[in-house]
Amino acid sequence: MNVPRDPIYLDHNATTPLLPEVVDAMVPYLREHFGNPSSAHVYGRRAREAVDRARAQVAALIGAAAEELFFVAHGTEANTLAIRGVVAALPEKRHVVTCVTEHPATTEPCRELERHGGQVTWLPVDGEGRVRVSEAVAALRSDTALVTLMHANNETGVLQPIAEIAREARARGVRVHTDAAQSVGKLPLSVEGLGVDLLTVVGHKFGAPKGVGALYVRKGTPVRPVLLGAGHERGLRPGTENVASIVGLGVACEVAHRSVGEEEARVRGLRDELWERLRARVPGLALNGHPRERLPNTLNVRFPGVSGSALLAAAPEVAASTGSACHAGEESASSIITAMGVEPSAALGSVRLSLGRTTTREDVVAAADALAAAWKRWVQGVRTGGS
């Protein structure tokens, strides 16, 4: 009996499979090492040692001190803690600078600030999806508490000029936060190189489990807790630590620390081959985002004459995502793509193809063939009056 093959997974920006090393490291903390890290006895001490070891591993990956890392449940919590926590700690400063192409984990806390009397400057992006440094600097005010900009966009992979903006903002006494959920583990980076005060890490984007992340907080940065409870995570994030997942995050960071440069080059080569193969077979195919300043694993392209969701439905051999959102059966163009000046009708043809550690050249060749063939069938069907 033929067992159907799973589709080629090109949705690593959504989530990644657990690394084998991560699974192996987690298992003992799901079985015998079950202690509460706040307990004083041997079971608690073993758990506390594991959490401390993981904290050091995460810190090493981003060039931080271990005491500057705070474990959270996910990127949404980290971003909320960064934005609301800094604003709450600086009551005289109620202005935040962000961007129109941010993830909802950033836009929603910013909108909540607006609803409660604060002010937010929403920076536009250029045709390649990048914020203009001059506009970001011009938006800074005496009452600006925080600049919060994602390092890499989750749909297009476009990298923002964080270091340049941070240098100007911090020279004016403004704190800077970056959501690095998509870039940590995929690119070599450091908090000093970026020049930020706060940085979000999300485990499941690079081989750790879902439900665990971290927030880097530079020493001396004013932040108040968002959740109220006991004194876990040195009083900034109450709640008993998710020890097994934290262990997994630490190991994923250790693996990335050893191999991120080599893996970046490998995946970039595969991504570029995917682009060239598709471009050769799909006339009018267009790239969404900057040709160079983007994640090495991300290819967001617009297929002409077809919606992204229809194309993926016609190519079941590939598991990927679109650059659009479907609500109540109606498909709408992605606001990330249209913010770059792309017409909504063209933006509907966007597909995000994101590669990862498990992606092989065979996957790239097969995916390009499947997508190009599906596009050709669709266009021919439309021309002949079919579907």
- Active-site residue, 326 included: yes
This prediction has a pTM of 0.95
Place of tokens 């498909």: 331
Enclosing domain of residue 270 = 8-15+259-383
> How far from chain centre, in Å, is Cα 61?
16
Strand order across the beta sheet in which 198-202 lies: 69-72, 213-217, 198-202, 175-179, 144-148, 95-99, 119-123
The enclosing domain of 271 has a CATH number of 3.90.1150.10
Pair (176, 113) in one structural domain: yes
Whether 235 is in a domain gets the answer: yes
Whether 112 is in a domain gets the answer: yes
Alpha-carbon distance 96 to 139, whole Å?
9
Nearest partner of 262 among 353, 188, 210, judged by Cα: 188
**DSSP at 204:** G
Q: Under 8 Å CB-to-CB from 303, ≥6 apart: which residues?
A: 282, 285, 311, 349, 350, 351, 371, 375
Instruction: Return per-residue pLDDT of the chain as tens, 387 residues.
Output: 555 689 999 999 999 999 999 999 999 999 999 999 999 999 999 999 999 999 999 999 999 999 999 999 999 999 999 999 999 999 999 999 999 999 999 999 999 999 999 999 999 999 999 999 999 999 999 999 999 999 999 999 999 999 999 999 999 999 999 999 999 999 999 999 999 999 999 999 999 999 999 999 999 999 999 999 998 999 899 999 999 999 999 999 999 999 999 999 999 999 999 999 999 999 999 999 999 999 999 999 999 999 999 999 999 999 999 965 554 456 789 999 999 999 999 999 999 999 999 999 999 999 999 999 999 998 887 656 654
Pair (252, 318) in one structural domain: no
Pair (168, 208) in one structural domain: yes
Last residue within a domain, chosen from 219, 235, 256: 256
Pair (273, 304) in one structural domain: yes
Q: Under 8 Å CB-to-CB from 104, ≥6 apart: which residues?
A: none
Whether 211 is in a domain gets the answer: yes
Q: Under 8 Å CB-to-CB from 325, ≥6 apart: which residues?
A: 331, 332, 334
Pair (240, 316) in one structural domain: no
Where residue 129 falls (left for φ over 0; alpha for ψ -120 to 50; beta otherwise) is: left
Q: How many helices (H) and strands (E) does the chain have?
A: 12, 15
Q: Under 8 Å CB-to-CB from 114, ≥6 apart: which residues?
A: 120
Q: Which two tokens stand for residue 106?
A: 């950033």
Q: Under 8 Å CB-to-CB from 102, ≥6 apart: which residues?
A: 110, 148, 149, 150, 179
The enclosing domain of 218 has a CATH number of 3.40.640.10
Pair (130, 164) in one structural domain: yes
Question: CA 346 → CA 334, 351, 387, distances in Å?
Answer: 10, 11, 19
Last residue within a domain, chosen from 203, 232, 256: 256
Are 174 and 144 spatial neighbours (Cβ–Cβ below 8 Å)?
A: yes
The secondary structure element, H or E, covering residue 56 is: helix 42-62
Which of 99, 110, 253, 326 is labelled catalytic? 326
Last residue within a domain, chosen from 256, 275, 309: 256
Pair (46, 186) in one structural domain: yes
Pair (163, 82) in one structural domain: yes
Whether 2 is in a domain gets the answer: no
Pair (359, 215) in one structural domain: no
In the chain, the number of structural domains is 2
Alpha-carbon distance 150 to 314, whole Å?
33
Pair (189, 43) in one structural domain: yes
